Structures are given as C-alpha cells and as structure tokens.
A and B are shown apart, each in its own frame.
Chain A
C-alpha cells in the first residue's frame, strides 16, 4: 500500500502544479493575453462580465497576486471554472459537462478495445514467431507514427465519403433526432461512433502489440517459463504464465500512454466534428475563449491523473511483490 500512497502524493502534487501553471500562464505570456481577452470582452460583454473576467485574470484588482491565487483555488474547489467568453453567459463548467460524456464514452471504449486487442495480438506474435503476424508489424508501425487525425481523415475519406458505410461527422443525426433513451437514438449514436473509435484503435493498437510482443519474448527466456515447460504443462498454460508476467510492465505503460491517447482522441473528434471535449477545444481556440481552454486543460489533467491512479491500483493487484512491506 505504500506504493499507492506515494503515487497518490505524486498525483496530488502534479494536480497542484497543473492548477498553478494554469493560474500563472495568462499572466506570464508576452503581450499580456489577459488584456487582449479583456479588450475583446469590453466591446462585447456586459460590465458585470468584464468585472468577473478582470477578477479571473487579475487585471485592475486591488488584491495582490497571492490573494488572487487563493481566490482562484477557492473558485476551483467550489467547482467554478469561470465563464465562457464565446458562449456567455454559459459557465465553462456547463459546457464541459455537456461534452464530457461523449469523449469519455468514445475514449473509454476505444482504449479498452485497443489495449485488449493489442495485448492478445502481441502475445500471439511472440508465441508464433516467424508466422504471418511478423509481417504485420511494419504496417502497424506506420499507423502508430501517423498522427491520429490523419488516420481519422483517411477513415473518413475511405469509409464515409468513398464507400458511404458510416456517417462522416457528428455524434448523432442532429437534424432528425433528439437525445432519448430509445433504440433509434442509441443505434444512431453507435453508428456515428464506429469511425472515430476505429481511428483511435488503429492509431494506438500498434504500440500495445509491439510492447507486449517484446515483453513476452524477454519473459519467455525466464527460468520459470523453462520450468513450466520442463513440467510438461500444456503449451497454452506456459504461454499463460509468461503472458501474465509480461503484462505487468504493460499495465504501467498503459498509465503513461493514457495522456497520449487522450490527446489523440481529442484530435480525432475534431475531424469528425464529434461533440466531445476535442471539438469544444478547437472551437475555443478559434474564438480565443481562454476560460474554456484553461478549464479543459484542468479537466483533462485531472482525468489523466485519475486514470493513472486506476492503472496503479491494477498493477498493485496483479503483482504480489508490491504488497511486500519493503
């Protein structure tokens, strides 16, 4: 359990660092973007909004930097991420809350599929060295090196535009349907989710395959695998023992990869105009909606930290050696 405690501490510190960075960045940038934001706001927004923004960005207030910092934390702990510039008076929180479920659903399922598929294929590739699977590797390498959004573009070009099998954009048919708990809506959502999910899986699975394969090859050289073979156990069991041990570094690798996958998923959403966080991100970039940008950064950071924590738990569960009071 000491291991988990140390990791939690790391995440807490990281969260604090992220929040602090978020606070200081607009104040540190050359050209003082805070002023630029306010300049834009003053022409378009009500005086109250401007006042709120001034507070948020620390311009023309009487409280010093430390006071503003404390206030920032105060707001955060009350769940107040600020107000959107573009969609005023909508709060940042409400915008994110609307978009988050789409992203979570997409990224969640795609990542799980990718991890499971990649791990199984990696085990198979190591078990049957010299088989056709080895030829798969260079192709997989390309998909991993190509940016997520390019794979997305390819997917749209091929499956949506050229072949017309799946819709090229959006989370569901906004023109004809309203969100409801009926099959028509759900099947439509699934239909729209196939290509984005496929993109994320294609772009990330190669990493798991190659990682698991290499780990398996190293593991299969270990003494206990030799012992299992010497015992005359069925081949499937021997591979199982090796795979169970080889899985461990990949679980911790999973934690590392989450940050990348989330970033990639955001980019994918953009190509598909999928109504998740990614889409919100790019529209706020285009409209210089800084409060939303910063809010998204915080939410993503926290989500990634949580995912890391879950992965650490899983690792501790899987490896009995960590339970030793070192």
Chain B
C-alpha cells in the first residue's frame, strides 16, 4: 500500500480527483449566486472577472463561477453514475463470459462486441434528441443511459483476465471440491481482478464526463440543466472564442475543469498501471541519485549499465 502512494502520478491524480469530488458535493452550497439569475438586464456584453463576479459573467450577466460550481455537481454526478453502472455491467458480463465459456461466452461476447463497435456519441445523440422532447431527464437517468454505451470495453478486458485465471490451480481446486460456480466467481476470481476493475472504473468515469459534456455542448441535453458542457454550449453560442474581445473567462473555466478532472483520473489510472506492471517503472535507475553516482541518463537498450567505481575490483 505505501508503495502505491509514493508515486507522484498517483498523488497528483488523487489530489485532483478529490478536489473535484468535493466540488461535486459542496458545489451548489458554495455558489455565491444562482446560476440562472441575471445580475443586470441592460448590459449585453460578458463582463471580465471582478470583485463581485470572481470569474466574470456571461453575455446575459449570469455569474460564471456559480454556473461552474452548480454545473460541477451535475457533471461529476453523471460521470460517477455512468462509471459505477458501467463497471457493474462490465464485471457481470465480463466475468460471466470468461468463466462460463461455451455458448454463454459466445452470446455475451457478441453483445459486447456490438456495443463496442457501435459509435456511442451518435447513438446517444439520437436517443437523447428523441428523449428530450418528452421531458428533461434527470442526472441519474442520463448516467444510466450513458453507461449502456460504456460497459463493453471493460467487459472485454475482464473477460480476458478471467479466462487467464480460469485455469489457475486454486480456481481448479475450488471447482473440484464442489464450490458453486457463482461463489467461485465472486470469492476466488473477483478479488484478483480488483486492479483491472479499478482501471476500468476510472476509464469509464472519464468516458462519462467526456460524453456528458459533449452531449450538453451539442444542446441535445436540456440546455437549462446546468453542467460544464452546458456552459460551453452557451459560450459557443455567443461565439465567446471568436469574439474579438475574447471572453476567455467564460469558456476557459468549464473546459479546464473537465480537462483537469479527466487528467486527475487518468493519472490515477497510470499510477495503478505502473503498480500492477512493474516494468513500466524505472526502478530508480533514471533518478537524480543514480545520475549523481555516474549512471547514464538514458537507459540504453542492450547495454547493461556499469556503476563507475574508484579502483578496479580485486
């Protein structure tokens, strides 16, 4: 465990993710204004940051910071719901397919492959486009629908891992002594899949954020439902980036928020990868101490480095 925390990637990733998680919960409470309220109805140009509005205002004089904080909750929530549901589906489908084999495997694999190949965003656009006319869906439902397109990748990975574990000795012995199949799956196989499940979960949350933001940006999801994507929708609508005055305070915060949240999760993912696959680490050979001791800066393939010493060995 402690080794896990020593990696700078994991620490940064953890920090960023926690910041955003807190934001998600506490966001709306921290917002100084309501995101919909207009500070004034006479000014028609977005205002740069000021004391009253720390991140400036939109064209219609709504407070950007408040939108960011309130929108944060929606964005993070949808992403998390999508992540959790998709991971549960991935584990269920993947482990079952890998362990049961036979026609069950064929069927589940076919299903996963179909969902994998179907382009997610266009499908979601059609679904939400049609759905939106009946009423604005809430965050949970959005998360569920997005997860339906995001489970296939994790399912495939988990299936592959399960397959490689199926022939391991301790799984075999559990089977021989008569343990029931679902128990074997739950208690023997699953615990060892935790790193893969963790990576899959993080990946799916990133996918959820990206997809939800994209859908909001397109205006497919109700544009009065605040999220970071929605902010970008309005900003693009008002041509905030194309405008000669460059209303950077309007489009930069939500975009950066999405980017940093995603980066935090991705770094966590890399950290877990390095922990699981030790080859990806450099084992201290390229660190500063090594260089001070005289080791070459880059590890050269095919040339085992030799530590320079003062005298020759005996």
Binding site for B on A (CB under 8 A): 10-11, 13-14, 17-18, 21-22, 25-26, 29-33, 36, 127-131, 138, 141-150, 153-154, 156-157, 160-162, 168-169, 210, 214, 217-218, 220-221, 225, 229, 235, 238-239, 256, 259, 262-263, 266-267, 270-271, 281-282, 285-286, 288, 290, 293-294, 296-297, 300-301, 304-305, 308
Contacts and interface: CB of A to CB of B under 8 A. Distances in A.
A217 B280 contact: yes
B241 A138 contact: no
A111 B133 CA distance: 35
Nearest to B259: A146
27 contacts: A14-B117, A22-B126, A29-B131, A32-B134, A130-B286, A138-B263, A141-B267, A141-B270, A142-B260, A153-B235, A153-B251, A156-B241, A161-B246, A169-B242, A235-B300, A239-B301, A259-B119, A259-B120, A263-B122, A266-B121, A271-B236, A282-B219, A288-B133, A297-B125, A301-B122, A304-B117, A305-B117
Contacts of B114: 10, 13-14, 17
Interface in B251-309: 251, 255-256, 258-263, 265-267, 270, 273, 277, 279-280, 282, 285-286, 297-302
B219 to A, nearest CB: 6
Interface of B: 110, 113-114, 116-123, 125-127, 129-131, 133-135, 153, 206, 210, 213-214, 217-220, 229, 232, 235-236, 241-244, 246, 248, 251, 255-256, 258-263, 265-267, 270, 273, 277, 279-280, 282, 285-286, 297-302
Contacts of A239: 301
A33 B130 CA distance: 6
Q: Which of A10, A161, A217 has the most CB of B within 10 A?
A: A161
B126 A293 contact: yes
Given A25-B126, A153-B255, A18 B118 contact: yes
Contact of B258 (A147, A169, A217): A147
Given A281-B122, A281-B218, A297-B126, 6 more contacts: A141-B267, A225-B301, A235-B301, A256-B116, A270-B218, A293-B126
